[in-house]
């Protein structure tokens, strides 16, 4: 038993958080910390902010909810500003912490953060916990995921691998550690003084996070799960999932899943409760299917690591990507001249959200029609999306660009056909004719 720091990363919840439960069990004193990277507001190599205003606002709401939950349990969330390898070792020394516990994220930047902490002399215990299925339950070694999604899905379903039940939130937190006078108050003040997003929410959003029902945080996520599975919308999911506008055409789980305010196992448990009462159907199966895609992208990144971020991706025979800087800027601004693409890009920039169908359409247009670098598009999505997830974002961009594991190569979506199929009467284009 010892003093520990629990480092919240993309797991901003108390329920179904095995790493947090481990820290609570092992610590005599426990301090919960979240690190805001100073680079959040610095330009990327492509010239724009790392985290745009809608995403920052949703994260702020999520952290506020997490802080309230911890406070209700007699604990506290400390928000620090700085790189983890600079902030956490100094904090650990100040409170005489023996180590850090956190979730394991198998992406290069996130792995480098952990390596830097260890190089600074900290003991860091990481726990893999963001996938729906346990690595040890898979019908293959977790690091040897089949390259093709269909093969992966069929192997899982043949072996009848099912998720474990979600874990309850800790009921008891170890007390806060003794700290130098004023230290925790100063850290809290530093976080409050961070520049906050000043952009106003856009009421046209299909994920209206300016409303209480779609705000960030575990409390709202739990209410949404309860609400969603109390309606027949899940049975309609397969038929409606390619919709472009409104809150009901898809599950809208993704922003809460991305911040970790909702675990995939909790979402799946809601699905199984629905099936127990209403019965399984195509809609419920397709929601399971999409949760499996989420796991697949995690396992592929666990397998391939930094190769996922090469210009050629996972295809050594792929040509080096070209780039069209002017076309890329028009794409970001929604001024390409292709109406459906422009409407989608305006929605993304104004709200931080975009339907799955339009994500594929606009990504395809950037790569195949504007001949711009897919990595620039992936970076723009990282900046803008409320539901940015390092695994899914990288996996989906590689998939569209033909640089991933898909044996059929790249996926070009014909914008004229997509317009006829999904916006035949022009309602979506009219809605986002301007920002």
pLDDT in tens, 87-129: 999 999 999 999 999 999 999 999 999 999 999 999 999 999 9
Which of the listed residues 305, 327, 356 is the one where a domain comes to its end?
A: 305
Mean pLDDT score of the chain = 93
For residue 48, the model assigns a pLDDT of 87
pTM of the predicted model, to two decimals?
0.95
pLDDT band at 363 (very low <50, low <70, confident <90, very high): very high
pLDDT band at 182 (very low <50, low <70, confident <90, very high): confident
How many domains, the chain? Answer: 3
For residue 160, the model assigns a pLDDT of 97
Whether 190 shows a pLDDT value over 80: the answer reads no
Whether 435 shows a pLDDT value over 80: the answer reads no
Which percentage of the chain shows pLDDT scores above 90? Answer: 84
Q: Is residue 208 part of a domain?
A: no
Regarding whether 345 and 294 lie in a shared domain, the answer is no
Regarding whether 15 and 50 lie in a shared domain, the answer is yes
For residue 42, the model assigns a pLDDT of 61
* Contact between 331 and 341 (Cβ < 8 Å): yes
Whether 310 shows a pLDDT value over 60: the answer reads yes
For residue 302, the model assigns a pLDDT of 95
Whether 194 shows a pLDDT value over 70: the answer reads no
Whether 193 shows a pLDDT value over 80: the answer reads no
For residue 22, the model assigns a pLDDT of 97
Regarding whether 68 and 117 lie in a shared domain, the answer is yes
Of 283, 175, 267, whose CA–CA distance to 224 is shortest? 267
Tell me the mean pLDDT in the region 263-282.
97
Regarding whether 155 and 286 lie in a shared domain, the answer is yes
Q: Which residues pair with 125 in a beta bridge?
A: 101
Q: Which CATH number goes with the domain that contains 158?
A: 1.25.40.80
Regarding whether 160 and 243 lie in a shared domain, the answer is yes
Which of the listed residues 250, 275, 305 is the one where a domain comes to its end?
A: 305
Q: Pull the structure tokens for residue 427.
A: 């309602």
Q: Which CATH number goes with the domain that contains 9?
A: 3.40.50.620
Q: Which CATH number goes with the domain that contains 380?
A: 1.10.579.10
Distance CA 196, CA 260 (A): 21
Helix/strand/coil (H/E/C) assignment for every residue in the chain: CEEEEEEECCCCCCCCCHHHHHHHHHEEEEEEEEEECHHHHCECCCCCECCCHHHHHHHHHHHHHHHHHHHHCCCCEEEEECCHHHHHHHHHHHHCCCEEEEECCCCHHHHHHHHHHHHCCCCEEEECCCCCCCHHHCCCCCCCCCCCHHHHHHHHHHCCCCCCCCCCCCCCCCCCCCCCCCHHHHHHHHHHCCCCCCCCCCCCCCCCCCCHHHCCCHHHHHHHHHHHCCCHHHHHHHHHCCCCCCCCCCCCCHHHHHHCCCCHHHHHHHHHHHHHHHCCCHHHHHHHHHHHHHHHHHHHHHHHHHHHHCCCCCCCCCCCCCCCHHHHHHHHHCCCCCHHHHHHHHHHHHHCCCCHHHHHHHHHHHHHHCCCCHHHHHHHHHHHCCCCCHHHHHHHHHHHHCCCCCCCCCCCCCHHHHHHHHCCCCHHHHHCCCC
Distance CA 94, CA 180 (A): 7
* Contact between 145 and 292 (Cβ < 8 Å): no
The range of the structural domain enclosing residue 149 comes to: 130-164+218-305
Distance CA 386, CA 207 (A): 9
Regarding whether 120 and 158 lie in a shared domain, the answer is no
Q: How far is CA 151 from the centre of its chain?
A: 24
pLDDT band at 131 (very low <50, low <70, confident <90, very high): very high
Regarding whether 137 and 97 lie in a shared domain, the answer is no
Regarding whether 255 and 138 lie in a shared domain, the answer is yes
For residue 199, the model assigns a pLDDT of 57
Tell me how far CA of residue 27 lies from CA of 30, 148, 181, 273, 378, in angstroms.
Answer: 6, 42, 22, 35, 39
Q: Is 160 left (phi over 0), alpha (psi -120 to 50) or beta?
A: left
Regarding whether 74 and 20 lie in a shared domain, the answer is yes
For residue 192, the model assigns a pLDDT of 64
For residue 195, the model assigns a pLDDT of 64
pLDDT tens across 206-232, in order? Answer: 999 888 999 999 999 999 999 999 999
Q: Is residue 95 part of a domain?
A: yes
Regarding whether 390 and 269 lie in a shared domain, the answer is no
Identify the weakest region by mean pLDDT among 42-51, 70-79, 186-195, 399-408.
186-195
Q: Is residue 211 part of a domain?
A: no
Regarding whether 157 and 294 lie in a shared domain, the answer is yes
pLDDT band at 385 (very low <50, low <70, confident <90, very high): very high
For residue 198, the model assigns a pLDDT of 61
Regarding whether 370 and 247 lie in a shared domain, the answer is no
For residue 130, the model assigns a pLDDT of 96
CB neighbours of 390 closer than 8 A, spacing ≥ 6?
A: 10, 105, 107, 109, 110, 301, 382
Q: Is residue 177 part of a domain?
A: no
Q: Is residue 194 part of a domain?
A: no
Q: Is residue 203 part of a domain?
A: no
Whether 347 shows a pLDDT value over 70: the answer reads yes
Whether 191 shows a pLDDT value over 90: the answer reads no
Q: Is residue 205 part of a domain?
A: no
Of 424, 366, 428, whose CA–CA distance to 397 is shortest? 366
For residue 209, the model assigns a pLDDT of 87
Which of the listed residues 105, 129, 153 is the one where a domain comes to its end?
A: 129
Q: How far is CA 45 from the centre of its chain?
A: 21
Q: Is residue 241 part of a domain?
A: yes
CB atoms < 10 A from the CB of 380, how many? 23
pLDDT tens across 28-82, in order? Answer: 999 999 999 886 556 677 888 888 889 999 999 999 999 999 999 999 999 998 8
* Contact between 98 and 3 (Cβ < 8 Å): yes
Q: Is 166 left (phi over 0), alpha (psi -120 to 50) or beta?
A: beta
């Amino acid at each position: 038993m010892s003093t520990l720091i629990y480092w919240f990363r993309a797991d901003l919840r108390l329920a179904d958080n095995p790493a947090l439960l481990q820290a609570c069990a092992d610590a005599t004193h426990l301090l919960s910390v979240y690190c805001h990277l100073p680079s959040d507001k610095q330009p990327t190599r492509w010239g724009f902010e790392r985290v745009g205003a809608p995403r920052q606002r949703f994260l702020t709401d999520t952290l506020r909810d997490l802080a309230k939950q911890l406070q209700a349990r007699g604990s506290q969330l400390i928000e620090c500003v700085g790189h983890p390898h600079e902030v956490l070792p100094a904090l650990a020394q100040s409170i005489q912490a023996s180590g850090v516990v956190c979730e394991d994220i198998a992406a290069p930047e996130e792995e480098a953060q952990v390596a830097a902490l260890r190089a600074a002399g900290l003991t860091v215990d990481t726990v893999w916990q963001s996938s729906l299925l346990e690595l040890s339950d898979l019908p293959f070694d977790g690091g040897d995921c089949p390259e093709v999604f269909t093969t992966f899905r069929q192997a899982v379903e043949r072996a009848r691998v099912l998720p474990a039940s979600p874990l309850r939130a800790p009921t008891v937190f170890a007390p806060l550690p003794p700290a130098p006078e004023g230290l925790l108050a100063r850290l809290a003040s530093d976080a409050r003084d961070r520049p906050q997003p000043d952009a106003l929410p856009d009421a046209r959003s299909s994920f209206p996070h300016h409303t209480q029902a779609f705000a960030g945080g575990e409390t709202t996520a739990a209410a949404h799960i309860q609400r969603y599975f109390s309606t027949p919308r899940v049975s309609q999911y397969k038929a409606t999932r390619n919709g472009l506008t409104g809150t009901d055409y898809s599950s809208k789980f993704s922003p809460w899943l991305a911040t970790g305010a909702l675990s995939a196992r909790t979402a799946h448990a809601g699905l199984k409760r629905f099936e127990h009462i209403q019965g399984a159907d195509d809609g419920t199966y397709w929601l399971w299917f999409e949760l499996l895609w989420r796991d697949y992208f995690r396992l592929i990144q666990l397998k391939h690591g930094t190769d996922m971020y090469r210009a050629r991706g996972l295809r050594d025979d792929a040509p080096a990507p070209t780039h069209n800087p002017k076309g890329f800027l028009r794409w970001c601004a929604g001024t390409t001249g292709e109406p459906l693409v422009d409407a989608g890009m305006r929605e993304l920039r104004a709200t931080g959200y975009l339907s799955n169908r339009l994500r594929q359409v606009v990504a395809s247009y950037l790569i195949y029609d504007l001949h711009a670098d897919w990595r620039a598009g992936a970076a723009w999505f990282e900046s803008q999306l409320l539901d940015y997830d390092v695994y899914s974002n990288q996996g989906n961009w590689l998939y569209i660009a033909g640089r991933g594991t898909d044996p059929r190569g790249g996926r070009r979506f014909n914008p004229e056909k997509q317009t006829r199929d999904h916006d035949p009467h022009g309602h979506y284009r009219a809605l986002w004719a301007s920002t």
